[in-house]
């Protein structure tokens, strides 16, 4: 296990890939929850869709970290985490496209399940086609797409290195 952890140039590619596969979705989910708790933003249905693959990525990367030594299982689990991260990024591309009016989004109303009329009347209306917050003119869905797809590509490159 120690032989995999460090190379003369720094962490081994496989270890770095596992770190990214665990850290990126954790950071993105943390940012999403922080925007709710601190920023007061309410997620729409597509915002929730983007979170599920990140939870899966954390599970895969966590299992890969348990294997830690350079093994086929750890590589496979890290690759599955990268795929899950990329899926969240793809959903982010779709969501950002809806926000920017590039294509139509959901055409049905979504709810969290059966509700009474009073509960329904008190649910905040959060539209998937409205940007609630943007940074450098990119919405949160857009940033999720950029960061998720970019990190999934980096993880894949690291896993394909010879010393991985």
Q: Beta-carbon neighbour count of residue 96 at 10 Å?
A: 21
**In the prediction, which pLDDT does 163 show?**
53
Is the separation of the CB atoms in 145 and 99 below 8 Å? no
pLDDT in tens, 99-151: 787 777 665 555 555 556 666 556 555 555 666 765 577 677 787 888 899 99
Is the separation of the CB atoms in 78 and 17 below 8 Å? yes
pTM of the model: 0.76
Q: Beta-carbon neighbour count of residue 80 at 10 Å?
A: 18
Using the CB atoms, write b or e for 149-158: b if 16+ within 10 Å: bebbebbbeb
DSSP 101: T
More confident residue, 30 or 102: 30
């Amino acid at each position: 296990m120690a032989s995999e952890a460090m190379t003369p140039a720094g962490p081994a590619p496989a270890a770095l890939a596992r770190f990214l596969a665990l850290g990126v979705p954790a950071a993105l989910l943390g940012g999403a929850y922080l925007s709710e708790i601190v920023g007061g933003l309410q997620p729409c249905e597509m915002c929730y869709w983007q979170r599920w693959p990140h939870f899966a990525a954390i599970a895969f990367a966590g299992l890969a970290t348990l294997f830690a030594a350079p093994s086929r299982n750890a590589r496979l689990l890290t690759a599955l985490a990268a795929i899950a991260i990329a899926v969240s990024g793809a959903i982010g591309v779709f969501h950002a496209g809806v926000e920017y009016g590039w294509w139509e989004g959901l055409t049905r109303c979504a709810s969290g399940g059966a509700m009474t009329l009073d509960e329904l009347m008190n649910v905040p209306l959060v539209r998937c086609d409205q940007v609630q917050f943007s940074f450098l003119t990119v919405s949160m869905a857009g940033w999720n797409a950029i960061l998720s797809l970019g990190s999934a590509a980096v993880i894949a490159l690291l896993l394909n290195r010879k010393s991985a």
